[in-house]
Amino acid sequence: MSQASHKILNTLRQMIVSGALAPGMKLAEIPTAEMLGVSRTPVRSALATLAQEGLLERIHQRGFHVRRISKEELVGAVEVRSVLEGLAARQAVERGLSNAVLETLQSCLDVGDQLFAKGHINEEDIAHYHDINKRFHATIISASGNPAIEPALARNEHLPFASPNAIRFDKNALDREFQRFAFAHQQHHTVVDAMRRGQGARAEALMREHAYVTIRYVDVDDFANFPDTIK
């Protein structure tokens, strides 16, 4: 796969994840190729990849359609993430934490503390916290020493809206967002506390619970606007 092919893959994936291609919509090779101004070959490759990722579904000998993601699937993906992240935290403790890992985690906590100290957040802060959050989780997953966790999570996350990246927040209710993110950040503190004390089971339990912060979003807000994605 070269640039063109990659670009098409990412374009289509983005269009599906963002909802630009509505769930249930039929996606044939030729129209798609024409739409993107390329031949069928790279489109074919991209569609096959997206089908394997679970974003598309093959219609027998008749192309693909955008998979309709049920609420059960989204909630299920969060639950799967929950146990995988929990596993990572526990295994990281069991394996023993290096100073480098502890320092990285601590810096995530410190930066977050600063961010939330002023009692409110703006969009820039949220973007910043998003980075910290990613680093926090990636650090623990890496520290687990279990190379199977990262790919399992990655494949679990590419459902539309299932990943924490896709958390959409109500820009008009930054106050409530502040509460949520601050709570998530406090959970990070508890996880690190457990990890420092070598409490693997506690770290696992806390990390599991932490994954559920996303579900509130799923339940309450985001998907109200996407009736098509809910069964």
Strands 64-66 and 26-27: antiparallel
From the list a copy of itself, DNA, none, partner contacted by residue 4 (C-beta under 5 to 8 A by kind): DNA
Q: CB of residue 16 vs DNA: minimum separation in angstroms?
A: 16
Q: CB of residue 159 vs a copy of itself: minimum separation in angstroms?
A: 8
From the list DNA, a copy of itself, none, partner contacted by residue 156 (C-beta under 5 to 8 A by kind): a copy of itself
Pick the stretch among 17-25, 70-78, 165-173, 219-227 that binds a copy of itself (CB under 8 A): 70-78
**Which stretches does DSSP call E strand in 53-191?**
56-58, 64-66
From the list a copy of itself, DNA, none, partner contacted by residue 63 (C-beta under 5 to 8 A by kind): DNA
Pairwise CA distance, residues 32 & 43, whole Å: 7
Binding mask 95-124 for a copy of itself (x = CB under 8 A): ------------------------------
Pick the stretch among 32-40, 72-80, 106-114, 135-143 that binds a copy of itself (CB under 8 A): 72-80
Helix 200-211 to helix 71-95 angle, to the nearest 10 degrees? Answer: 160
Pairwise CA distance, residues 53 & 43, whole Å: 15
Q: Is the Cβ–Cβ distance between 220 and 75 less than 8 Å?
A: no
28 or 215: whose CB is closer to DNA? 28
Binding mask 135-174 for a copy of itself (x = CB under 8 A): ----------xxxxx-xx--xx--x---------------
Query: b/e map of 190-229 (b: 16 or more CB within 10 Å)?
Result: bbbebbeeebbebbbbbbbebbebbeebbeeebbeeeeeb
Q: For residue 26, which amino acid is it? A: K
Q: Is 3 in the site for a copy of itself (CB under 8 A)?
A: no
4 or 20: whose CB is closer to DNA? 4
From the list a copy of itself, DNA, none, partner contacted by residue 11 (C-beta under 5 to 8 A by kind): none
132 or 195: whose CB is closer to a copy of itself? 195
55 or 206: whose CB is closer to DNA? 55
53 or 221: whose CB is closer to DNA? 53
**Which stretches does DSSP call E strand in 7-155?**
26-27, 56-58, 64-66
Q: Is 207 in the site for a copy of itself (CB under 8 A)?
A: no
Pairwise CA distance, residues 75 & 81, whole Å: 10
Q: What are phi and psi of 67, to 5 degrees?
A: -70, 140
